Every structure is written in structure tokens, then in C-alpha cells.
Amino acid sequence: MLKQKISRWLASILLSATITLPAFAQDLVVYTYDSFNTEWGPGPVVFKAFEEQCSCKVQVIAPGDSGSVMSRTILEKANPKADVLLGVNDSELAKSFKHDLWEPYRSPNLDRVPEELRLDPAHRVTPFDYGYIAFVYDSERLTSPPKSLADLTDPRFAGKVVIESPKTSSPGLSMLHWTVAVYGEEGYLDYWDRLRPNLLTITDGWSAAYGMFTKGEVPIVLSYVTSPAYHVEYEQTDRYKALDFPEGMFRQVEFAGILKGAKNQQRAREFIDFMLTSGFQDVIPLTNWMYPVAPEKALPDSYQAAVRPAKTLTLSPEEIESNNDRWLRSWSRTMAQ
């Protein structure tokens, strides 16, 4: 009899707990690149804002540069660990399409984005920001910077340049495509052969390259036109300057998408919708240092230090998809000589 009373008492406690405890929503798991989720990046702000909106918990995993994140996602394709992959740029789209990573979704907020930035008519991925890769130099260490891509190969810059690898890094791959856009199939490898003596090193990712630059180890780095705006905003210095080359500057658009087989599809769709609202877009300029695709307020004053390219260059996702593997193999052979 006593056991029955205790059992009924425990059952009432459990029932009460079930009724009174809040019903937590399922987590959303997001893969992104490391600099997006640092304390100075947009991640801590935008993910917290989405958590407050959805009353859910966002788990963020940032194992490295965008190339590393892509490789991990491909390896996990049969059993995806994430719901959303955030931070794939247009130079990497072909690879993601080849591996069939995405669950198509067209956000109703996509209408806020200019047509020229909507590069995937199948809506497998959604753009969230864009920018232009550029060479940034330290004006206190270099009084006569290169005036063009061609000039960058001049022997006076021997050992003074650091770039990121196109095999592992988003800006590195965009630079490879930049040289293809400028010099074509017949000339891009010759350009890299001439540039090679001027490269102090080639890093795996942007953080390592830019760290070398800001530490004074090298006066020229491959980065973005908006990088000088960061130093104006937070360091009140205009010593770092981006170069606008007359051959044209290569545009980079960043995307996010829902992974095929993701466990939290509905929550992932809600996040893609949120990504195109002010809670995400207005955070981008002063944290990710790119241009938002759907801004709702003016850019910060520090963006006056950002170069607006006179000429924009791009390659279509279809052209990249058809040729990228061959370009990378040829680049590797050239740089190994």
C-alpha cells in the first residue's frame, strides 16, 4: 500500500513537472567559417538575435576557413550534422552543387535582394552579403604600391606579398578566378608563374594571412576592399589602404543554404528568412566587413575608406563548375615548379 502511495506521489510530481516546464524548441545547428563567429564577427550578435526570435538554441560550429567547412560538410553528406551551412561564396558554389548538398528554399524575403546577386535560380542557396577581393597594403611600410595586377609581379615586390590558397580559402579561390577573368585560359598560368617570386608565403586561410600583415611580417595581403574601413572604425588609422586595379576587381557574394537531410528543416527556413532582415543585415558592415545584400540603413562613415571598384569582374557558376577542378590542378603544378 505504501509503495502504491509513493508511486502515485512520484507520478503526480512528474506530471506537474511536465505541465510547468517550458517546451523548448529543437536546436538549430549552423556550420560557418571561423572569422564569422569570433567575438568581433557577426556570429555572436546575429545568432543571439535569432535565438530570441525563435525561442530556440543555436549551436554554431566553425572549424576553420570556408574551404574547411565545405570539406567537412561534404564528408558528412550522408548523415549531415548541421542544418545550415553559412558562408559559401560564388567561387565555391560549383563544388557545392556538384556534391548536391542543398535543400532548395526560396525565402519570401529574397525579393529585397538585387537581381544581380541572386546567382542560383534553383534557390539552393541564398545570398547574405557581398564584397570585392583586393590587395591591401601598409602605407607606412610601402610608399610605392603596385598599380595593377600586372605591376604586382614586378621584382620590387619580391617576398612582400601574402595570399591565401585557392585550395582551402575563399578569397584565395576568388583570386584564382580573378586571374582567369583578367587573363583568360591562355594567360592566367603565366601570370601566376610571374607572381610566384613575390609571394612570401601562401596561407591556408584569411586569418593567418591578415595576421601576418598586421604584425608587420609583410606589407601586402590579399583581403577585401572593405578591410581599411575596419581599421578606420576601430583603430582610427588610415594607414591600411585597398588597391583598385584597372583590370577590374573580382566580386564575391556569400551565401547560406539548408543542407539536404537536415534534421531541423523548418527552423532552418526560419533562419534563412531572418538572414534577410535588419536583425542580420544591419550587423554585417561593422562585423563581417562586407556589403549587406538587403540593407535597411546607410553604411557607416568608416566605409568611406572602402574602395568602390571602377570595374567589376565575375565568372558564372556554370563556367566555374565546368573548369574549376582543372584550374586548381594546373595552378598547383605551376606553383610547385
Q: Which of 207, 232, 237, 210 is nearest to 221 (CA)?
A: 210
Is residue 14 assigned to a domain? no
Residue range 185-231, pLDDT digits in tens: 999 999 999 999 999 999 998 989 999 999 999 999 999 999 999 99
Query: At 138, is the pLDDT very low, low, confident or very high (cuts 50, 70, 90)?
Result: very high
Strand 161-164 relative to strand 291-292: parallel, antiparallel, unpaired? unpaired
User: For residue 143, with 0-12 CB atoms within 10 Å meaning exposed, 13-18 middle and 19 or more buried, which class applies?
Assistant: exposed
Let me know whether 161 and 49 are in one domain.
Answer: no
Q: Could you tell me if 153 and 63 lie in one domain?
A: no
Residues 136 and 231 in one domain: yes
For 255-297, how does the pLDDT look when each residue is reduced to its tens digit (9 = 90+)?
999 999 999 999 999 999 999 999 999 999 999 999 999 999 9
pLDDT at position 88: 93
The predicted pLDDT at position 21 comes to 35
DSSP string, 101-125: -EE----GGGGGS-GGG---TT-SS
Which CATH number goes with the domain that contains 34?
A: 3.40.190.10
The percent of residues in the chain predicted with pLDDT above 90, rounded, is 81
**Average pLDDT, stretch 110-134?**
96
pLDDT for position 65: 78
Q: Indicate whether 89 and 177 sit together in one domain.
A: no
The residue that leads in pLDDT, 151 or 17, is 151
Q: What is the pLDDT of residues 17-36, one digit of tens each?
A: 433 334 445 699 999 998 89
In a domain, 294, yes or no: yes
pLDDT for the residue numbered 26: 62
280 domain residue, yes or no: yes
The tens digit of pLDDT for each residue in 53-102 reads 999 999 999 988 787 899 999 999 999 999 999 999 888 888 899 999 99
- pLDDT higher than 60, residue 2: no
> Which grid coordinates belong to 186?
591562355
For residue 58, list its beta bridge partners.
28
Number of domains in the chain: 2
Same domain for 166 and 220, yes or no, is yes
pLDDT of 239 above 90: yes
Residue 321: is its pLDDT beyond 60? yes
| Domain presence at residue 151 | yes
Total Cβ atoms within 10 A of residue 63: 12
Kindly state whether residues 256 and 119 are assigned to the same domain.
Answer: yes
Query: What phi and psi values does residue 254 have, to the nearest 5 degrees?
Result: -105, 140
pLDDT digits (tens, 9 = 90+) for 38-64: 988 999 999 999 999 999 999 999 988
**3 state DSSP class of 29:** strand
Q: How confident is the model at residue 337 (pLDDT cuts 50, 70, 90)?
A: confident
CA distance 237 to 305: 10
* Alpha-carbon distances of 206 from 163, 247, 315, rounded to whole Å: 8, 23, 22
Mean pLDDT of 244-259: 97
Strand partners, 317: none
The H or E element that residue 287 is part of is none
pLDDT for 63 equals 85
13 has pLDDT over 80 = no
In the chain, the N- to C-terminal Cα span, in Å, equals: 87
CA distance 92 to 71: 11
In the chain, % helix, strand, coil (3-state, to 5) comes to: 45, 20, 35
* Average pLDDT in the chain: 91
Q: What is the CA radius of gyration of the chain?
A: 23
Same domain, 143 and 154: yes
In a domain, 230, yes or no: yes
Q: How far apart are CA 273 and CA 151, in angstroms?
A: 44
Mark whether 95 and 29 lie in a shared domain.
yes
Domain match, 96 and 208 both: no
User: Where do we find the cell 556538384?
Assistant: 98
Tell whether the model's pLDDT for residue 151 goes beyond 50: yes
Q: Which of 200, 198, 268, 336 is nearest to 58 (CA)?
A: 268
C-alpha cell at 172: 584565395
DSSP H or E stretch at residue 90: none
Q: Is 143 domain-assigned?
A: yes
Please state the φ and ψ torsions of residue 75, each to the nearest 5 degrees. Answer: -65, -30
In a domain, 9, yes or no: no
Ramachandran sector of residue 314 (left: φ over 0; alpha: ψ -120 to 50; beta: rest): beta
- Per the CB < 8 A criterion, the answer to whether 316 and 93 are in contact is no
Residues 99 and 27 in one domain: yes
Same domain as 189, residue 69: no
Distance CA 39, CA 136 (A): 23
Query: 33 is in which domain, residue-wise?
Result: 23-130+252-305
Domain check: are 35 and 181 in the same one? Answer: no
Q: How far apart are CA 62 and CA 32, in angstroms?
A: 5
Distance CA 83, CA 65 (A): 18
The answer as to whether 77 is a domain residue is yes
